[in-house]
Amino acid sequence: MPVPFINRELSWLEFNQRVLNEALRDDLPLLERLKFLAITASNLDEFFQVRIGSLMLLSRGGRKAADPSGMTPNQQLTAIRKRVHEMVEAQYALFTDGLLPALNSAGIRFLSPQALTPAQADQVATAFHDAISPLLTPLAVGPDESPPAVPALQLIVACRVADAESGAVRHVLIPIPEGLPRRVPVSDVGESAAFVLIEEVVAHHSGELFPGEDVLATTCFRVTRNGDIAVQEEDANDLAGEMEEVLAARKLSDTVRLELPASLPRDLLKVIQEVCRATTGEILRINGPLALAGFMDLAFLPGAEALRDEDWTPQPSPDLTPGEPIFDAIGRRDLLLHHPYESFEPVMRLIEEAADDPQVVSIKQVLYRTARQSRIIDALIRAAENGKTVTVLVELKARFDEARNLLRAEELQRAGAQIVYGVKGLKTHAKICLVVRREDGRLRRYVHLGTGNYNESTARLYTDISLLSCRPEYGADASLFFNAVTGRSKLLRFQRLVPAPTAMKPRLLDLIASEAERARQGEPAKIIAKVNSLQDPEIIAALYKASEAGVEINLNVRGICCLKTGDAKYSKHIRVVSIIDRFLEHARIFYFHQGGDPGIFIASADWMGRNLDRRVELMIPVEDSRARRRLLRILESYFQDNVQASKILPDGSSEKLKPGKGEKKFRAQEHFYKEARRVAKAREHERAMTFEPHVPK
């Protein structure tokens, strides 16, 4: 008999609903609500590119096989479209009826071109002539011509124009380049900030692009294409070149969504559908401005600090003395960092100091997603230029970051770094850096192992764990890891680190089964896990068996959760919560009681088939006693949250938790920030009282 299983796509949509619920909260600052709304729109963009594209291909291929939840591709598409329509309606009801009026009251106004004063109209006209019009490329649509290739996820203004003399009618599309800002500012009275949306500016001034013709009608649309196009690695001798072809193919792939205004002229609808090759099923009618993700930058409007949350500045680690070389600090003991409450700076310092340290011999690193202006890549380039052996595994299959990774890989290669473009047939998602340093005539290995990317920008927005260590076992395993992924050998014979796809799932299944057996023997048994997503059928089945045996299981799952809660047989002892707050929950932490000698791990991998079976990942057993205690406290704190936590319900939806009678409010992220600030201040006070000197650099 199949075990209960929630559909992956519908579970993801419920995660996005939890994000939207934050935007619906009247008690949040206005621009924070706008930010959450923009995130839901951005999430849907990626969802359509990746997940809907795959399902449509299966459906068109006649695939009838059901997924683990029992749904065929057609059934999934029907259910998804229904749920998406509901969500989009809720998004625009919030934007139109709630956020826009509130923004207007707060002095942030959106004006139509028709509502501008003469002075404002002159400002917009100048902006169009000087900064917008030179970048526009109108595309003619003719009955005897092939349809133009319109770019995905860009706003496009469609026009019906007529010859001023003959009256002959034709249609033209005007894509708005991605580099242009969404808002055109205009001066306003008092302290107000006023803007006109760029698509309205282009539509209003479109007649200037067609001399001798009249613009009779305009509308705006946006097309989303299938982004789930993979590299054919079996046939690819040049992975970088193959990836460039994939990026080009995405621009012309099948339409999976066509966003249109709620009302538009029939002839423009027909033209747009033909150009995009879209059926009625792909059309989403929108009551408001398209592309709500484009309003994200408004959440950071200068001068509007009163409409945002107070900043939570990352705190320095109490284990680091200001000015002390990072190698000295790691040499004393393992350093555990909880980002973004504690600064990512020590991780960047490891690589930056290694680049300039004459005792450092080599640096090896995996790069998956990096910042646009990456200090880490700059340091690796400098290290190579300084004559150190630098090896970088650049994952070209990091979806939607491929172009940036290609560009930075070329820079590294020019500097003299050895570049490896991933592992054939697998996506390398492990977070690991190995620095080899000559000390007292011997080589010593320093490692960074983590749950998050080497990206100093997202390190301020995502919650993650970093472990910095010079334990010989970690260092030896790190060398084995890099030898395997660069030399295309097997991920075997590790002392401590647990790699996927070879060992992580079997190890997790053994750990879960061990807890189940202890419970059957009447011993205390407990599992606590924090993951971004839980979808792997084997892991879920093992958790069900452990629950049936009486194991207490607490799961913190931010996003997809295919495990069905509340089932009297399978999940009686399983509790699942999800936390959506100002920082994106991203760390993976696992705890197994093991008869009182707990196994505590951090990992780069979620409990999903793609991570455990089709990616190169790492799970790290944490051995430092202080770090282990701290990780357990972090895990337990999440299950005390009664402010931002939601309980996952049996149908996959969620319900916000509230403090019980007489219970104090507890918000995990706020607790972590206050604790990091308290510890940092206490350490600073301790140094001042003991006259502990700063170590000169």
Q: Which residues are catalytic?
A: 429
Residue 409's closest CA among 553, 240, 164? 240
Distance CA 290, CA 274 (A): 20
Locus of tokens 């997202």:
458
Residues 6+ apart with CB under 8 A from 104: 110
Distance CA 89, CA 98 (A): 13
CB 6 within 8 A of CB 285: no
CB 632 within 8 A of CB 642: no
CB 434 within 8 A of CB 363: yes
CB 542 within 8 A of CB 7: no
Locus of tokens 């069905």:
564
SS3 of 522-589: the string is: CCCCEEEEEECCECCHHHHHHHHHHHHHCCEEEEEECCCECCCCCCCCCCCCEEEEEECCCCEECCEE
Residue 88's closest CA among 125, 48, 121? 48
User: Of all helices (H) and strands (E), which one includes residue 100?
Assistant: helix 100-105
CB 430 within 8 A of CB 616: yes
For residue 607, give both structure tokens.
């409990």
- Whether residue 501 is preceded by a cis peptide bond, meaning omega within 30 degrees of 0, is yes
User: Of all helices (H) and strands (E), which one includes residue 656?
Assistant: strand 654-656
Residues 6+ apart with CB under 8 A from 216: 160, 161, 162, 169
CB 420 within 8 A of CB 391: yes
- Whether residue 340 is preceded by a cis peptide bond, meaning omega within 30 degrees of 0, is yes
